[in-house]
Chains A and B, each alone.
Chain A
Amino acid sequence: MKPLALTAFTATSCLGRGLAATRAALDAGRTALAPCAFETVTLDTHVGEVPGVDDEPLPAELGEFECRNNRLARLGLRQDDFDEAVRALTHRLGPERIGVWLGTSTSGILDSELAYRQRDPATGALPASFRYRGAHNTYSVAGFVRRALGLEGPAAVISSACSSSAKVFASARRAIAAGLIDAAVVGGVDSLCLTTLYGFHSLQLVAQGPCRPFDAARDGLSIGEAAAFALLERAADDTPAQAVLLLGTGESSDAWHMSAPHPEGRGAAAAMSQALAAARLTPGDIDYINFHGTGTPSNDAAEARAVAAVLGSRTPGSSTKGATGHTLGAAGGLEAVICALALRHGLMPGGVNTSVIDPALPVNYLRENRRAPLKAVMSNSFGFGGSNCSLIFGRAG
């Protein structure tokens, strides 16, 4: 594939608002997971909550999109002048030439969950404040971002659980290659809600303390929330050497189980191999892998087998979910931005919380930060329904 440049990018998660805060937390090897105090949730678990989301109401002209998920989206868009970068590009290309592909798993479902507590006792009706289109519907976050940025090009939400905001990079890449558009806003926004907290709990996939990816005693994931965005454009001859490029994408399906990965990581391996082929790279060219690494026993085991099969066991890798939690539909986007920071600053972030690396997992797992110039890195994202996506990012020079 022809490389695309990430001409702007930003991330907001429990680690902080924007790139500087995110990088500072990664540099310090800090986790921001904390005992769950979200809403009225009574589960004994840790979460990665973004502070202050509820204090950021949408402006009146965007009121039809009001919900916590879109508040988080707006908060994210305003960091690192990302919204200004999109506006400047819109001025140059025209609003119809820029697409929007965002990942989310639950959109504004939290607001629906709360509305169900306020049903009319006589009729069962939802309160008048219930917003189907602007909040509940899966598309709402892409509709919101498209409107907030004044864009008029093609748009969609990709919602394939935890691979959602990795797969948006693949869809946007194709649309740009096909000439449908010239640039795309991609990323993911997912926010805490009762469906995912109680849902993962029902599957017994939630860790009691902060999640410990690849640890011998790992006992599940910690749920987080995030808004992450990137602006994709065709790489040009004058793309600066320090620019971050999308080099390859790979997508596959497990065809195996709704909520468990294929035990050998069959689909994961296929996605990684495809991404390498698309980037015209060999396994030895990958300097660092940001694992999907949820911290559930089955995910990390399947992923480690797949990585070993495709890339061998020497490439350093880590999961940053010990720091951020698993941000579900935003995880692919958040970890793409972490990969971009890794490339820009030569930082391989160590996986925090992990104390004893599981000896049964045949990978070179980093527990401490390592600094080295990086040329190409891989990010893995795997979701329910057996949906797999692997992305490769690199430096222009």
Chain B
Amino acid sequence: MSTPLTAWVESVGLLGPGLSDWQAAVEVLAGRAPYAPQPTVIPPLQCLPAAERRRTGKVVRLALTVGLEAVVRAGADAATLPAVFASSGGDGENCHEICQVLASAERQISPTRFHNSVHNAASGYWGIATGATPASNALCAYDASFAAGLLESLVQLRIDETAVLLIAYDADYPEPIRSARPIPDAFGVALLLTSAAGAGSLARITARLSVTPADVLRDARLEALRAQVPAARSLPLLQALTGAEPRAVVVDYLEPQRLEIEVSPCH
């Protein structure tokens, strides 16, 4: 049994199919509003200079949008926050465009396509947008990327940091990769986590590795979202954050491990 890791959730940012922000998601996840999936609408970014804004793809816009929502909801200063970016696929459209050009006689990929191809592109644009100079991590663990990002964040809070912004995000690939990796739509979630309780903390979470099977969601369409988008493996945790009672949830991690999380709401 590994050492449990504890943190407080200060705020959440969320964007996904039929879930326009955290406020909208709370109503759905708490069962007060029906879940009506609609294609994810990612708003244009206001936080980047125009030249940079034109260079960003939808995955970067998704990550920055949920990150900013969490920061604004907590009234935090993004420039001072270490960040953890967790994504299974990064920018799939950009990857497709590069592979397509490299398979042609031309092979001349554009400089912007190339620098956008790095898995930490969202982290780089986040720094440019917010001026954040602390450490930023960009990691991937395939379908376990959300739990891997959460573990990295919780470990940072135990050892080095007092606050960490976790941003987990994934978007759909275009064909032909889509057939091999059928992620249906874009979903992103940001959690602002702290090592001590604040006045506005939503909940205390305590996580440990476990072999208990992951929770599934009762609503079939929400469960489909959870099962199909790596970042949406967070949904059992997010649902527990909307409740008034303490709950233990299990989210998917790397076989044979899962992440069991006790959620104790603060209000």
Measured CA separation A130–B89 after assembly (Å): 16
* 9-residue interface stretch from B31-39, B65-73, B113-121, B218-226: B113-121
Complex contacts, B177 vs chain A, CB 8 Å: 112, 126, 132, 136
- How many Å from the CB of A160 to the closest CB on chain B? 4
A-B pairs with beta carbons under 8 A, tally? 217
Chain B count of residues within 8 A CB distance of the other chain: 68
Nearest chain A CB to B6 CB, angstrom units: 11
Interface contact A178-B155, CB-CB below 8 Å: yes
Q: Does A397 contact B (CB under 8 A)?
A: no
Q: A253-B132, A384-B120 are in contact. Are A126 and B102 (CB under 8 A)?
A: no
Given B110, B117, B121, B127, which contacts A253 in the complex, CB threshold below 8 Å?
Answer: B127
What residues of chain A lie closer than 8 Å to B179, measured between beta carbons?
A: 125-126
Q: B156 in the interface, Cβ–Cβ < 8 Å?
A: yes
| Shortest Cβ distance from A181 into B: residue | B2
CB within 8 Å of B: which of A212-263? 251-259
Q: Which residue on chain B has the smallest CB distance to residue A203?
A: B111
Q: In the complex, what's the smallest C-beta–C-beta distance from B233 to chain A, in angstroms?
A: 14
CA distance A139 to B141 in the complex (A): 5
A137 and B88 alpha carbons, distance in the complex (Å)? 7
Are B148 and A156 in contact, CB atoms less than 8 angstroms apart? Answer: yes
B160 contact set on A, CB distance < 8 A: 174
Query: Is B133 in contact with A267, judged by CB distance below 8 angstroms?
Result: yes
* B228-251 contact mask (Cβ, 8 Å, vs A): 1 or 0: 000000000000000000000000
- Asked whether A316 is an interface residue with its Cβ less than 8 Å from the other chain, the reply is no
Q: Interface residues of A, CB < 8 Å — how many?
A: 67
Q: Which residues from A are CB-within-8-Å of B98?
A: 195, 199
B50 within 8 A of A: no
Contacts of A139 in B (CB 8 A): 88, 140-142, 145
What is the CA–CA distance of A116 and B174 in the complex, to the nearest angstrom? 13
> Is B3 on the interface with A (CB-CB < 8 A)?
yes
Q: Is B136 engaged at the interface, CB distance under 8 Å to the other chain?
A: yes
Asked whether any CB of chain B lies closer than 8 Å to the CB of A383, the reply is yes
CA gap between A116 and B103 in the complex, in Å:
6
Asked whether A159 and B119 contact (CB < 8 A) given A175-B155, A198-B108, A385-B124, the answer is: yes
Neighbour of A159 across the interface among B120, B152, B159, CB < 8 A: B120
- Show 25 residue pairs from A and B whose CB-CB distance is below 8 angstroms, ordered by the A residue: A109-B95, A126-B180, A136-B180, A137-B88, A137-B89, A138-B140, A139-B141, A140-B142, A154-B253, A159-B119, A159-B138, A160-B119, A178-B155, A180-B5, A180-B209, A199-B98, A202-B110, A202-B111, A252-B134, A255-B127, A256-B128, A266-B133, A383-B120, A385-B118, A385-B124
